[in-house]
Amino acid sequence: MPKRVTRRDFAKVAGAAAIGASAGSTTFAGRAPRQTAGSRPPQTATRPFPDRFLWGTATASYQVEGAATEDGRGPSIWDTFSHTPGKVVNNATGDVADDHYHRYKQDVQLMKALGVKTYRFSIAWPRVFPQGDGVPNPKGLDFYNRLVDELLANGIEPFATLYHWDLPQSLQARVGGWESQDTSHAFANYTGYVTKRLTDRVKHIFTINEFGAFVELGYRLGIHAPGLKLPPGRFNQTRHNAVLGHGLAVQAIRARAKPGAKVGLAENLAVCAPIIETAEHIEAATRATRELNAQYMTVIQEGRYTDLYLKTAGSDAPRFTAAELKTISSLLDFVGINIYTPLYVRADSSPQGFQVVPHPKSFPHMASFWLFVGPEALYWGPRHVATIWNVKDIYITENGCSSSDVPAGDGRVYDTDRIMYLRNYLTQLQRATSEGVPVRGYFLWSLMDNFEWADGYTNRFGLNYVDYQTQTRTPKLSADFYKEVIARNAVA
């Protein structure tokens, strides 16, 4: 019987070929390889990004700051949730996280080493208003004043998100969090307070990060804080209250901002990629993108819920007024989209005219089970936003991936899988910009490994490896890759 060829055998053969090639030996055909093409970089100049493209990285307060009780910070729903046994892998909490609250100067140097031009961070609401509303805590805002000054002193432009999921626990306890419009109004009040004090230096403000994640995971599926599984009627109302909070915040920001400040949001749009790029599937994917974002991006852009959403929800549809829809759809200066993975869509003969094709079992994904590798998302995401809603300024506010990230003997992490992911995604983003899709910048998630919500510290997304025992940061191989992308302003 012939010996079965194992994966190991395959690797050996491939490895031998690679070693032979790099040593400049003869190929299997017996001819020496041509020297000329060998070490010259490929013509990456053919994949350039627009001039002044804004390269950046991103983090969020609860995931990196730590210092959970310092300088008057109140508890957030994530403190409560992570301290509830069984909610987060290994019962991890953000009590210390990356200790960024104390190490922010060092972290700004990590950004500088990458060569990023901008940094997206979030402001912890319970640092600024420990109870969510009522009396502010100026010491809490001081941290962001220090951070912003440090960024600007190092030539890095700050982009600030006002809500990246750390809702003050007091609002959850007193009014039921986003189940109540009291929270929407408290949010607007807090955003106005911050805007007045930061927009002399921070010129780009995001209201809310990812309705499509925190509302769904926190109030419907119960796997994120506050861990609720609301019935459909109450849940749809919660979705509505969240977008209303966004709209009220846009108005509060406009009322209090210093000249030149711009406002947008950062949404994890459901990106529908056509299974094959034919007219009928592209049309279906476009229609699907509108419908599958009905509760968030679509109502924000169009000022109305789609007929299909309202019809499907029936008596569980949210209750709303025309004035609320007008507030929700307050004009934005730019749109941020967080893109990790697409949905593959095909045209079909159903009344809605599209079908989401499920992933086969063998579909490749990164360390996070949900992070299927679909680089086309970075082409179709911004293209849909530009074509469906005529948006003129788009930012990719998050993109990146988790990887197993085990340090090698020399202490470095050779995350070739992350580089593979980034190179493919950036190639599709470059395809979009080269066709004139108005993408102005890209924020890689994340600057460094951090508290990955319900996954605790198990799934790492950073360009810098964090040793949580010592708080040492070590650039991964992907940091070198990203540095090269930024330096060339082209896919490397």
Decide if 118 contacts 83 (C-beta within 8 A). no
Q: Is 11 exposed, middle or buried (0-12, 13-18, 19+ CB in 10 A)?
A: exposed
Q: Considering CB under 6 A, how many residues would be counted as binding ligand PNW? A: 13
Q: H or E stretch including 349?
A: none
Q: Please report which residue ranges of 28-76 form alpha helices under DSSP H.
A: 61-64
Q: Min. distance of Cβ 363 from ligand PNW in angstroms?
A: 14
Nearer to ligand PNW, 80 or 180 (CB): 80
DSSP helix/strand/coil, 220:
helix
- 15 vs 32, 94, 155, 404, 406, CA distance in Å? 19, 42, 44, 22, 21
Who contacts 474 (Cβ-Cβ below 8 Å, separation ≥6)? 407, 411, 412, 413, 464, 465, 467
Per rule CB under 6 A, is residue 452 in the interface with ligand PNW?
yes
Question: CA-to-CA distance for 121 and 123, rounded, in angstroms?
Answer: 7
Nearer to ligand PNW, 127 or 197 (CB): 127
Per rule CB under 6 A, is residue 213 in the interface with ligand PNW?
yes
Closest by CA to 304, choosing from 288, 315, 320, 284, is 320
Extract the tokens encoding 331. 């004009």
Decide if 447 contacts 63 (C-beta within 8 A). no
Question: Of 157, 210, 267, 376, which lies in the binding site for ligand PNW, with binding defined by CB under 6 A?
Answer: 210
The torsion of the CA quartet 92, 95, 96, 97, rounded to 10 degrees, works out to: 50
373-402 positions binding ligand PNW, by CB under 6 A: 398
330-359 positions binding ligand PNW, by CB under 6 A: 338, 340
User: Taking CA 180 as the corner, what is the angle to CA 251 and CA 254, rounded to the nearest 5 degrees?
Assistant: 5
Q: Min. distance of Cβ 63 from ligand PNW in angstroms?
A: 6
Decide if 274 contacts 380 (C-beta within 8 A). yes
Per rule CB under 6 A, is residue 60 in the interface with ligand PNW?
yes
Number of residues written out for the chain: 492
Per rule CB under 6 A, is residue 324 in the interface with ligand PNW?
no
Nearer to ligand PNW, 173 or 213 (CB): 213
Note the Cα 38 to chain centre separation in Å: 37
Nearer to ligand PNW, 96 or 152 (CB): 96
Q: Min. distance of Cβ 376 from ligand PNW in angstroms?
A: 17
Question: Of 268, 295, 298, 464, which lies in the binding site for ligand PNW, with binding defined by CB under 6 A?
Answer: 268
219-238 positions binding ligand PNW, by CB under 6 A: none
Which residue's beta carbon is nearest to the bound ligand PNW? 370
Extract the tokens encoding 472. 């040492």
Per rule CB under 6 A, is residue 98 in the interface with ligand PNW?
no
460-489 positions binding ligand PNW, by CB under 6 A: 461
Q: Min. distance of Cβ 43 from ligand PNW in angstroms?
A: 33
Q: Min. distance of Cβ 223 from ligand PNW in angstroms?
A: 9
Nearer to ligand PNW, 121 or 354 (CB): 121
Question: CA-to-CA distance for 2 and 4, rounded, in angstroms?
Answer: 6
For ligand PNW, which stretch binds (CB under 6 A), given 144-152, 205-213, 411-419, 470-478?
205-213
DSSP helix/strand/coil, 180:
coil
Residues serving a catalytic function are: 210, 398
Strand ranges, E, within 153-221: 157-163, 204-209
Q: Min. distance of Cβ 214 from ligand PNW in angstroms?
A: 8
Q: Min. distance of Cβ 490 from ligand PNW in angstroms?
A: 26
Question: CA-to-CA distance for 449 and 445, rounded, in angstroms?
Answer: 9
Question: Of 209, 237, 330, 399, which lies in the binding site for ligand PNW, with binding defined by CB under 6 A?
Answer: 209
For ligand PNW, which stretch binds (CB under 6 A), given 143-151, 206-214, 321-329, 478-486?
206-214
Per rule CB under 6 A, is residue 327 in the interface with ligand PNW?
no
What residues does 344 pair with on adjacent strands? 273, 357
Who contacts 376 (Cβ-Cβ below 8 Å, separation ≥6)? 273, 342, 428
Per rule CB under 6 A, is residue 62 in the interface with ligand PNW?
no
Per rule CB under 6 A, is residue 445 in the interface with ligand PNW?
yes
For ligand PNW, which stretch binds (CB under 6 A), given 208-216, 245-253, 319-327, 343-351?
208-216
Per rule CB under 6 A, is residue 267 in the interface with ligand PNW?
no
Per rule CB under 6 A, is residue 370 in the interface with ligand PNW?
yes
Q: Min. distance of Cβ 270 from ligand PNW in angstroms?
A: 10
Nearer to ligand PNW, 268 or 286 (CB): 268
Nearer to ligand PNW, 206 or 320 (CB): 206
Nearer to ligand PNW, 60 or 225 (CB): 60
- 442 vs 66, 89, 135, 151, CA distance in Å? 26, 30, 36, 18
Q: Min. distance of Cβ 340 from ligand PNW in angstroms?
A: 6
Nearer to ligand PNW, 257 or 413 (CB): 413
Q: Min. distance of Cβ 124 from ligand PNW in angstroms?
A: 13
DSSP letters for 79-98: HHHHTSTTSSGGG--SSSTT
Note the residues at the interface with ligand PNW (CB under 6 A).
Answer: 60, 63, 209-210, 213, 268, 338, 340, 370, 398, 445, 452, 461
